[in-house]
Structure 1
Amino acid sequence: MNQLQSMRVFVKVADLGSFVGAAGALDLSTAVVTRHVADLEARLGTRLLNRTTRRLSLTESGATYLERVRHILADLEGVEQMVVARNHEPVGTLRIVAPVVFGLHSLAPVVQSYAQRYPDVVPDVTLADRHVDLVEEGFDVGILVARHMRSASIVTRRLTTGYMTVCATPDYLARHGTPTRPEDLLRHSCLSRPTEQGGGEERVFTGPDGEVRVRPSNAIAANNTEMLRQFALLGMGVAILPSYLIGRDLSAGRLVRLLDEYSLPPIEITIAYPSRLHLPAKVRTFIDHLVEHFQPGSGSARDARGAAQRRAVAEVSATDDLSAPEVTDDPLGSGGTTRRVARVPRPRIAASQF
């Protein structure tokens, strides 16, 4: 029989001094109660209770055993209550993992406001630009940008959308001119990640005449987006950077948004966590807090967007040009390539940035 249950039954028998009374209190039959005590005595190899026709009494071993068992059961109950409380009340260490640049520029205010709201939770933040396995590495919550996370048993939930922005400093544009079409990037110094990290890859712009595919050549490469931002701020070239990184730079005029009539594919920002089953309160409340922070129209979202918000783009009228795609190799003699795909334009809606 279950040893823990047998211990509970023994304590009840000792407290009530009766097998019958213990059976009634525990909603068990008298035979089952008797069997539990007998199994304990057999396991221990000693008699715990003296039985007579009129009363029960503890043996010396029984009294010692009863005292220790009370402590064990009390400790167990305390542990169970603590675990239940952790599932129902936000408490304990919350391990969070996020990409480096997103974490530095967008996550800190969320963690600060969450910690103020739930002081019994201790956030433990890890920033990593690599594939992460939440389960293997013991993280409670992860934030995905460009799918930098993997696990066989995670649940994901969309958080918000970011946008890639072509930008440069006013000084750089004064010296080198302002690109007005994606093809113009081929004659500019472009700042990007190394080739092995996707730098120098073909960029797909959507504009008034459909898709334009351009493969700019790197003038400077860096494996960190924040470093590319620093290069751009120093006037070293044109960069394509995420909106959550440069919103304040655009607002302050340190960087200028380029190619407003063209857009690049959006970046989906996603929350990930190990399982929906028995989700601890600290995880559940942090996820809700994240969603609240980034939801459209919230004060936090408006502050983060600031002047980085894309100007509204008027609906583009349809065109009858359905000619086959035209491919031109290096039309500007700059070592890059461009390809324009003519198609009927779709109406465009200004994309919010955060």
Structure 2
Amino acid sequence: MDIVRCMQAFVATVQAGSMSAAAAELGQSPALVGQQIAALEERLGTRLLNRTTRRQSLTDFGTSYVEQCRDILDRIALAEEAAELQQTRARGRLRITAPTTFGVEALMPALGGYRQAAPDVELDITLSDRNVDLVEEGFDIAFRIGQMQDNSLIARPLTPYRMVVCAAPQYLSCRGTPIDPDDLNDHETIAFTPSARSPWKFAGANEEKVVTPKRMITVNSGQAACAAARAGLGIIMQPEILVRADIETGGLIQLFPEWRLGERPMWLLYQRDRRMTRRLRSFISFATAAFSAQ
């Protein structure tokens, strides 16, 4: 039995809330995670988790033991980081989280440059549109869009997230092309679910307009919203990086180019007390160069 891996499986299960979620995080099968925890319980001679078909909870001993496991795993990580500092090349595992659209359209295509510079770094990337807790969920670094609200993290500014409004040529030929943002009230729109109720704010040369257009379709995927727009189902407001290729090929037509939509700030986040290993330093240098604020 590899006791370190068993401890990792136990801690991951507690943090993730289930063995299946821990298995996905660790890149293992749920059965293997269950076997590792069972082996740990057999070695200790006591149960760590109370399990039912619907939920799991820590036993009294499990509550204290998980903190000891975290301390042990942190000490192992510190020892590995100390060894890494003696090496000339960045190596080891780096856990990264990023918003889904940014991750698919911008981060993943840019990673080739980082892989060439740091081929020995293992990248574990999670794409999610929720604000993950770096400390609780064990991430080294995060890309985040929006206003910063956590002063406990170091935040490096990146290029702001720019939004554009567009529609397919067939939709515009059928329903007409809106000339002014106020015209959106007479059009069908496709909204990204997390921001479906948010008004669309436009800034012109001398005025601002706030429009809450009629929404016929809401969907929880930016890529799906773009697909619906390409099919002529309505007008979308999406990140410029997501629709850039469609606009360049004519699959979508940008509307109101003379109006600016509110740009959303974007940040690279990492823990303030995080030891600056070579792998972390190398990724920060890559990310700030690739996506730095202009």
Q: Scaled by the length of structure 1, what TM-score is found?
A: 0.57
- Give 1:289's aligned residue: 286
Alpha-carbon offset, residue 146 of structure 1: 2.6
Question: Which deviations, in whole Å up to 9, do the C-alpha atoms of 1:29-68 show, x marking residues without a partner?
Answer: xxxxxxxxxxxxxxxxxxxxxxxxxxxxxxxxxxxxxxxx
Residue from 265, 272, 276 that aligns with 1:275: 272
Q: Which amino acid aligns with 1:87?
A: L
Alpha-carbon offset, residue 282 of structure 1: 0.7
Q: Which amino acid aligns with 2:162?
A: Y
- Give 1:84's aligned residue: 82
1:114 matched to 2:111: no
Kept after mapping to 1: 8 A contact 2:131/2:144: no
Q: 1:80 to 1:287 in 2, by over 3 A?
A: closer
Q: Which runs of 4+ in 1 moved over 2 A?
A: 79-85, 109-112, 149-153, 275-278
RCO higher in structure (CA 8 A, sep ≥6): 2
Residue from 197, 201, 208 that aligns with 1:200: 197
Residue from 226, 242, 245 that aligns with 1:245: 242
Kept after mapping to 2: 8 A contact 1:162/1:242: yes
- Give 2:181's aligned residue: 182
Q: Kindly report which structure 2 residues correspond to 1:298-313, keeping only aligned pairs within 5 A, or say none.
A: none
Q: Which amino acid aligns with 1:270?
A: W
Q: Which shifted more, 203-212 or 173-182?
A: 203-212
1:258 matched to 2:255: yes
Question: Which deviations, in whole Å up to 9, do the C-alpha atoms of 1:99-144 show, x marking residues without a partner?
Answer: 1111111111232221121111011100111121001111111000
Q: Please say which structure displays the higher CA radius of gyration.
A: 1
Q: For the residues of structure 2 that align with 1:243 and 1:80, how far apart are their CA atoms?
A: 40
What SS does structure 2 have at the residue aligned with 1:161? strand
Alpha-carbon offset, residue 294 of structure 1: 2.3
What SS does structure 2 have at the residue aligned with 1:240? strand
- Give 1:18's aligned residue: none
Kept after mapping to 2: 8 A contact 1:250/1:257: yes
Kept after mapping to 2: 8 A contact 1:188/1:237: yes
Kept after mapping to 2: 8 A contact 1:98/1:142: yes
**Matched residue count:** 216
What SS does structure 2 have at the residue aligned with 1:110? helix
Q: For the residues of structure 2 that align with 1:280 and 1:200, how far apart are their CA atoms?
A: 42
Identity over aligned residues, as a percent?
33
Q: Scaled by the length of structure 2, what TM-score is found?
A: 0.68
Kept after mapping to 2: 8 A contact 1:142/1:271: yes
Q: For the residues of structure 2 that align with 1:81 and 1:133, how far apart are their CA atoms?
A: 24
Q: For the residues of structure 1 that align with 2:118 and 2:149, how far apart are their CA atoms?
A: 29
1:141 matched to 2:141: yes
What SS does structure 2 have at the residue aligned with 1:290? helix
Alpha-carbon offset, residue 272 of structure 1: 0.4
Kept after mapping to 1: 8 A contact 2:81/2:277: no
Alpha-carbon offset, residue 82 of structure 1: 5.1
Q: Which amino acid aligns with 1:83?
A: E
Which 5+ residue runs of structure 1 have no aligned equivalent?
1-78, 297-351
Q: For the residues of structure 1 that align with 2:244 and 2:186, how far apart are their CA atoms?
A: 26
